Amino acid sequence: MINAQPFLHFRPQLRGAKEQNTPRMKIRVSEAVALAEAALQKMGYKPHDATITARHLIDSELRGFGAAGLARVLSIRDRLREKGLKDEITKTLESPSTAQLNGHDSLGYLVAQKATEIAIQKAKQTGVAVVGASDTWYTGMLAYYAEQAAREDLVTVIASNASPWVAPSDGYKPMFGTNPFCVGFPSGTGTPVIYDVGTSKILHADILLAQRLGEPLPPDSAYDSAGRVTRDPIEALQGAIAVWGGHRGSGLAITVQLLGALAGSPALPGNLEEFGFLIIAINPAMFRPIDEFKAEIDAYSAKLRQSPPLPGKGPLRMPYERSAAVRARAVESGEFEVQDEIVDMLRRMINSEGPRASI
């Protein structure tokens, strides 16, 4: 059973179905980045580390994944209240094409970013690189790392396991994490082809955000501790999230859990700790000229988009196109929407007394 205790410091009344649209406000992208950086520095993160994390969080917002955006700052705060801030990352093993990092309980945005940078560097030198990182938490959206590698003309396969929050198909006890799996390809058009899928019906972050805002969960997305379907975030934290994709999604989630173990994590990490992150980076130029490879990807993408959709369905698109287009529109407008309450919570935290009073 999940240890939900760190998240039970408040339990707002769930809003009814007609009331669950929390008021939203528009915020400038620059203001959102500054807000996230200020909040993270208030917790004790160094400016450089706060910037790395804030950029990742705001990229999630810009691509339409708000639960993994500014609201995640509050979840980081809650976690630090329990276990304190750690920021040491060490390289424990290394070869010309591999490396293993120990995050020493540091925030995953920082650990995974370092692992990605090492993988890119080694793959450019040797053709293939495999980097594992362990003892971390909250590694974020894997597409963020795959896009960095795609800009360097690299193909990536990335997996990140997590605490057992999700029940396998036909079960209701949590046995693996929300466990994203990601594959990324460079292209010649500027928008890479990236398939980044979580293996649970909703994210752990979705539950925490619903709890903060007093909103119910989507139908059929979680179980309570007795295996009954629930829409109550607190009951879900004490029970389990439903797996995505039935037995196929369950099988994929299990493989991601074990790939995290390959990276150095326990097969069943503790609650919000000991996550494993594995990135494989491949230089396509080992197999064929890079421009030829990207031209093949672009030609295939064009043919897929031209393929006729089923009646009533929209035009077909490649993975990552939708979220990249959402981000481009937000960047062009210079702003995006976020829940008023989340911004208010962050501002109150920043303005609290003392440099680390919020923790």
pLDDT tens-digit readout, 253-297: 999 999 999 999 999 999 999 999 999 999 999 999 999 999 999
Residues 266-273: contacts with CB under 8 Å, at least 24 apart: 268/164, 268/175, 269/161, 269/162, 269/163, 269/164, 269/177, 270/163, 271/2, 271/3, 271/6, 271/163, 272/6, 272/79, 272/137, 272/138, 272/163, 273/83, 273/105, 273/135, 273/137, 273/163
Q: What are the start-end ranges of the H helices in 127-168?
A: 142-151
pLDDT (mean) for 318-331: 97
Q: Specify the pLDDT at position 200.
A: 98
pLDDT in tens, 142-156: 999 999 999 999 999
Amino acid symbol at 235: E
How does residue 355 score in pLDDT terms, banded at 50, 70 and 90?
low
Nearest to 260 by CA among 168, 112, 132: 132
Third-level CATH fold of 89-200+243-292: Ribosomal Protein S8; Chain: A, domain 1 (3.30.1370)
- Picking from 315, 325, 318, 313, the residue whose alpha carbon sits closest to that of residue 301 is 318
The whole-number average pLDDT for the span 103-128 is: 98
What confidence tier does 50 reach under pLDDT thresholds 50, 70, 90? very high
Question: Looking at residue 356, what is its pLDDT?
Answer: 55
* Domain ranges for the chain: 89-200+243-292
Q: Which amino acid is at 263?
A: A
Tens-digit pLDDT profile for residues 80-96: 999 999 999 999 999 99
Q: What is the overall mean pLDDT for the chain?
A: 93
Whole-number percent of the chain with pLDDT over 70: 92
What's the rounded Cα separation, in Å, for the pair 286 and 216? 50
For 214, left (φ over 0), alpha (ψ -120 to 50), or beta?
left
Name the percent of the chain lying above pLDDT 90.
91
Backbone angles phi, psi at 92, to 5 degrees: -95, -30
Confidence of residue 128 (pLDDT cuts 50, 70, 90): very high
pLDDT score at 22: 74
Distance, in Å, from the CA atom of 77 to the CA atom of 256, rounded to the nearest integer, reads 27
The amino acid at residue 27 is I
- Structure confidence by residue, pLDDT tens digits, 165-202: 999 999 999 999 999 999 999 999 999 999 999 999 99
